[in-house]
Structure 1
Amino acid sequence: MRFRLFTPRWIGLHLLALLAFAVCMAAGYWQFERAQQPDRGEVVNPAEELAGAQELDSVVGPTDYMPESLGNTAVTATGTFADTAPLLAPGYENGADAEDPGAFGYYVIAPLVTGDDTAVAVNRGWIPADEAEQEGAVDRLAPVPEGEVTVTGWLQPPQKNEEGIVRMDVPAGHIERIAPSVLVNEWPYRLYEGYIVLGGQEPSDGAPPAGGIAMSPAPPPAPEQGITWNWKNVSYAAQWAVFGGAVIVFWISLIRRELEDASSDGDGTGDGEDGGDRAPEPQAPAAAP
């Protein structure tokens, strides 16, 4: 009976079952891997070394869409800082470090004019909230250098308003987030979608006035750490695992039915391996009287 499972038809069924099982397992594993991957709307790249900074326009152009995958790219840009007061955007001392965000304060944002009616927002640094909220705080900051300036830093995508709420009580000289949709109402320039977190500058800022406010460097947001499970993909992985198990169960049931049919054929027809009913042996003719 066992040889009935190795006929060409059954060999094809065996291979088909193994292929279906392998496809289910591969698809389930792929969905399981996808469940652990960060969302496409998050910066997951480590901050690049500033020594390898690329020209800003070679990475992204003004008004061009900036994908999140360009976050933390080291870039350099040359231009002149506009003769306008800097803007203050709320933020934490350590950027996006969820475990230790640091003290609350404000980022100092200024436009670097890189061409005709074109500018990129530069995050010059961070100041504590108690100093930033004082009257005339921006006048006590270190002045930007005059003339041509080359800045080097990390490109960041525009900050998002995750709650979908636009604050209506933002004080003068403050913005709710660093994004071109907000800055376009403050500056008369074509803006890059991203902004630069300052890492180096040539020439450097001037000395702050007496009793001025010292800025701390604003580090680039750290990439997302740990695993954020996407339960939708986890459920897909579980479904593929169930499909793979169903293939095995169906395959085994077909084999059992085939063996049962072979056994019944052997008991009733004599075609079995062990015989079944045998033909009667010939009898010797009876002796004549």
Structure 2
Amino acid sequence: MRSPLLSPRWLGIHLLVVLLAAVCVAGTSWQFVRAFEPDREVITNPVEDLDGAVPLSDLLEPGEYMHPDFFANNAVRATGHYDAEAQLLVPRVSGGVGGYDVVVPLVTGEGTAVTVNRGWAEEGQDIPPVPEGEVTATGWLLPPVRAEGAVPVDVSEGQVGRIATSVLVNEWDYRLYEGYVILPAQDPATDSLTPVPPPEPPTETKVNWRSLSYTVQWMMFGVSGVAFWILLMRREVKEARSRGERASKDGGTARGGEDQPAAADS
């Protein structure tokens, strides 16, 4: 006897359930990944960020505290002129080679400036002059280097131990913006220097509870659909078996009724 679950109607139901299961698995997987991704509002693409750089003055005022969670790694731009005579070197080892970060104040207004890290130079390397006249520097805003994260070094004249506003205010007669700006490779101020790499997207994850709730909903919907499909199949098989038993019983009754008259005639 052919299974009732192989009828055209049931083949269509099977196909529909397979499609439903595939959609639910995909939806569950997608929402689960989103639930444990870094916050999409802070994930950055450094190249694209430069196209949307905002004026530094829109984020901070000179001397204002910079909250790293709110302002760090933002693409910013600032217009002014470099104070070449105030340029300083910050000792730093890169790839096992000794050298210096080259920092210079970009004067943005009367008595105000922002620290710009032009890039890294190997020890003994000639450092090119900064561009003259008015410039617009576009780069990424980084928080000051903390004292506990810096390696103590003996610095000479024209050098400082770390890039931090609290250190640089003792060297420069400006009201400084908190933090400092690193420049992309195409900026003229980085000429022949090794640009500091742009900040990486954050690696820590935050639970997105809305996406997590969607994950549960997709999973429950898929499980419910499969469970309903199984119940329908069991009911269909049970009804087909009942119909078969009734048909068999009715057939036996009919045969028994035909035999009785023959016995009476004899």
Distance 2:130 2:169 in 1: 21
Selected match of 1:167 from 144, 147, 150? 150
Q: Show CA shifts across 1:74-103 (max 9, x none).
A: x452145286452425264xxxxxxxx694
Alignment of 1:7-46 (within 5 A): 19=20, 21-29=22-30, 31=32, 44-46=45-47
Looking at structure 1, the residues matched to 9 and 169 of structure 2 have their Cα atoms a distance apart, in angstroms, of 74
- TM, length-normalised to structure 2: 0.56
Please, which of 108, 114, 127 is the counterpart of residue 108 of structure 2? Answer: 114
Deviation at 1:110, TM superposition (A): 1.5
In 1, Cα distance between equivalents of 2:6 and 2:128:
89
Equivalent position of 2:192 in the other structure? 216
Q: 1:27 to 1:45 in 2, by over 3 A?
A: farther
Query: What is the root-mean-square deviation of aligned Cα atoms in Å?
Result: 5.5
The 2-side partners of 1:218 and 1:47 are apart by 21
Q: Secondary structure at the match of 1:254?
A: helix
Equivalent residue number for residue 262 of structure 1: 239
Q: 3-state SS of the aligned residue for 2:161?
A: coil
In structure 2, the residue matched to 1:207 is none
The answer to whether residue 126 in structure 2 is matched with residue 124 in structure 1 is: no
1:189 match: 175
Greater Cα offset, 276-285 or 38-47: 38-47
Structure number having the greater helix percentage? 2
The CA deviation string for residues 198-252 of structure 1, in whole angstroms up to 9 with x for no partner, is 8236xxxxxxxxxxxxx83242526769xx9x8x99xx9xx98998986676456
Deviations 1:255-276 (A, max 9, x none): 44224322442344x1xxxx23
| Residue in structure 1 matched with residue 188 of structure 2 by the alignment | 200
Q: Is the 8 A contact 1:81 1:112 kept in 2?
A: yes
Find the aligned partners of 2:225 and 2:188 in 1 and give their Cα distance: 62
For residues 85 and 25 of structure 1, do their structure 2 counterparts lie closer, same or farther at Cα, with a shift above 3 Å needed? Answer: closer
Pairs aligned (count)? 234
- Alignment of 1:150 with 2:138, yes or no, is no
Deviation string, structure 1 residues 45-85 (Cα, Å, up to 9, x no partner) = 22789xx8978447754456435352xx6x45214528645
- Distance in 1, Cα, partners of 2:93 & 2:39: 23
Contact 2:152 2:161 in 1 (8 A): no
| Contact 1:67/1:157, CA 8 A, preserved across alignment | yes
Match for residue 97 of structure 1? none
Distance 1:55 1:91, change over 3 A: farther
Note the alpha carbon deviations across 1:120-150, whole angstroms, 9 max, x for none: 1122343323x49xxxxxxx967768xx832
| Residue 136 (structure 1) aligns with | none
Give structure 2 stretches of 5+ with no counterpart: none
Partner of 2:92: 90
Q: Report the residue type matching 2:197 in the other structure.
A: P
- Alpha-carbon spacing, 1:91–1:81, altered in 2? closer, same or farther (3 Å): farther
Pairs within 5 Å for 1:64-83: 65-68=70-73, 70=75, 75=77, 77-79=79-81, 81=83
Structure 1 residue 105: deviation in Å? Answer: 1.5
Query: Which SS does the other structure have where 2:46 is aligned?
Result: coil
Q: Which amino acid aligns with 2:248?
A: G
Q: Distance in 1 between matches of 2:101 and 2:135?
A: 17
TM-score, normalised to structure 1's length? Answer: 0.53
